Copies of this chain bind each other. A is one copy, B any other.
Amino acid sequence: MPKAAGYCYAVKKGRKTGVFDTWPECEAQTKGYPGSKYHKFPTRDKAEEYLRSPNEVFASTTRALVEHARLIAQPSPTNQLAVASTSARAPLPVPTQIDSDSDIVYSDGSCRGNGQKGSYAGVGVWWGSDDPRNLAERCPGDQTNNRAELIAIIRILETTPHSSRPLVIKSDSRYSIDCVQKWLPGWKRKGWRTAGGTPVKNVQLIKYLAALLDERHQKSGSKVVLQHVYGHQGEQGNEGADALANLGATLPEVPEPDWDALRRAVETAMRKKAVEEAVSAPFGATATTTQLVVQETKPPSTGFVEPADVDEFEFGLELLAGDDELLNEIEQG
């Protein structure tokens, strides 16, 4: 509540451009300047990043995306099934250029009127300006912010081919990250009950997301880094995903996939691979256990984003051991 000034103002269009420490300074550059563009940020870093980022990130991406999303979204005899099937969820073509050590992608969910009747939610995935892998989709099923955030991450994993490079997913949803990072093991143990004894929400989504992560680790051995970023800090990628999510929320309703079926399909594939490996190397070599690396950033109020803290979590076939449904299937099949 203390109005402790600690803000910066980035002026992108104005008499002088640059970063200014006080509002009056910023105002002096923008007031009365036609088409001025400026923004408040909690840190100088963020302000500078905003200045560096291109002005119209999504303009050209948008139209194509809307069309793409509409096609997928509109229930019709020819594509209704496809939407809910895994095949329609196959990876998109990857751009040919490979330019960095790890793949970075932003996810975001939005939900107009969250908690209200008649709310509508959207999902956004942003790889870069004009990147064909970008997504703007209507959130299927219940329209809540948290579902949209989870599904955004799921959609990334569904549409991104495995690769040897780490995949860095940046989300501003602490909830989504914590679901897979810190709460999932306990939930498995305690039968998907919250600390308050109530059933965990969005279980199908969370289980499917966990399965997708497991699959990726098992197949490629590569890392998935879930990194939390604070929303609305001017970070280009987050803003991009946000805009795409808002766009997605305007699309027509879509049928909800059968998340459990999707998860089982993934798990079946994993089991096959596990069996093959066990057969070819039966000398006590345990199933692949890879790491889910979760990167943490400091909250924006600290002023600096320090070198990311890294928490590491065991992942892999743990799920097989903790899931009754799966054990049953294995026993019977």
Q: Mark A108-151, 1 if CB is under 8 A from B, else 0.
A: 00001000100000000000000000000000000000000000
**A198 lies within 8 A of B250 (CB):** no
How close is A115's CB to chain B, nearest CB, in angstroms?
10
Q: Inside 8 A of A246's CB, which chain B residues have their CB? A: 1
Q: Could you say which of B1, B112, B116, B250 contacts A250, with CB atoms under 8 Å apart? A: B1
**A2 CB-CB contact with B under 8 Å:** yes
Chain A interface residue bracket vs B: under 10
Q: Inside 8 A of A250's CB, which chain B residues have their CB? A: 1-2
Q: Give residues of chain A (241-277) contacting chain B, Cβ–Cβ below 8 Å.
A: 246, 249-250
Q: Inside 8 A of A1's CB, which chain B residues have their CB? A: 112, 198, 246, 249-250
Cα of A198 to Cα of B1 in the assembled complex, Å:
9
Counting every copy of the chain, the complex holds: 2
Cα of A23 to Cα of B113 in the assembled complex, Å:
12
Q: Inside 8 A of A249's CB, which chain B residues have their CB? A: 1
Q: Mark A23-36, 1 if CB is under 8 A from B, else 0.
A: 10000000000000
Residue of B nearest to A112 (CB): B1
Residue of B nearest to A120 (CB): B1
Cα of A2 to Cα of B2 in the assembled complex, Å:
38
Cα of A2 to Cα of B120 in the assembled complex, Å:
13
Q: Inside 8 A of A198's CB, which chain B residues have their CB? A: 1
Q: Give residues of chain A (167-216) contacting chain B, Cβ–Cβ below 8 Å.
A: 198
Q: Give residues of chain A (1-40) contacting chain B, Cβ–Cβ below 8 Å.
A: 1-2, 23
Cα of A179 to Cα of B250 in the assembled complex, Å:
34
Residue of B nearest to A116 (CB): B23
Q: Inside 8 A of A112's CB, which chain B residues have their CB? A: 1
Cα of A1 to Cα of B198 in the assembled complex, Å:
9
How close is A53's CB to chain B, nearest CB, in angstroms?
24
Residue of B nearest to A249 (CB): B1
Cα of A249 to Cα of B249 in the assembled complex, Å:
43
Cα of A198 to Cα of B249 in the assembled complex, Å:
33
Cα of A147 to Cα of B246 in the assembled complex, Å:
35
Cα of A246 to Cα of B1 in the assembled complex, Å:
9
Q: Inside 8 A of A23's CB, which chain B residues have their CB? A: 116
Considering residues A1, A2, A198, A250, which has the most beta carbons from chain B within 10 angstroms of its beta carbon? A1
Q: Give residues of chain A (54-111) contacting chain B, Cβ–Cβ below 8 Å.
A: none
Cα of A112 to Cα of B250 in the assembled complex, Å:
37
How close is A312's CB to chain B, nearest CB, in angstroms?
24
Cα of A2 to Cα of B198 in the assembled complex, Å:
12
Residue of B nearest to A199 (CB): B1
Q: Inside 8 A of A2's CB, which chain B residues have their CB? A: 250
Cα of A250 to Cα of B4 in the assembled complex, Å:
13
Cα of A246 to Cα of B250 in the assembled complex, Å:
40
Residue of B nearest to A2 (CB): B250
Cα of A249 to Cα of B2 in the assembled complex, Å:
11
Cα of A250 to Cα of B250 in the assembled complex, Å:
45
How close is A206's CB to chain B, nearest CB, in angstroms?
19
Q: Can you show 7 pairs from A to B with CB atoms below 8 A apart?
A: A1-B112, A1-B198, A1-B246, A1-B249, A1-B250, A2-B250, A23-B116
A-B interface, 6 closest residue pairs, ranked by CB to CB distance from nearest? A1-B250, A1-B198, A1-B112, A2-B250, A1-B249, A1-B246
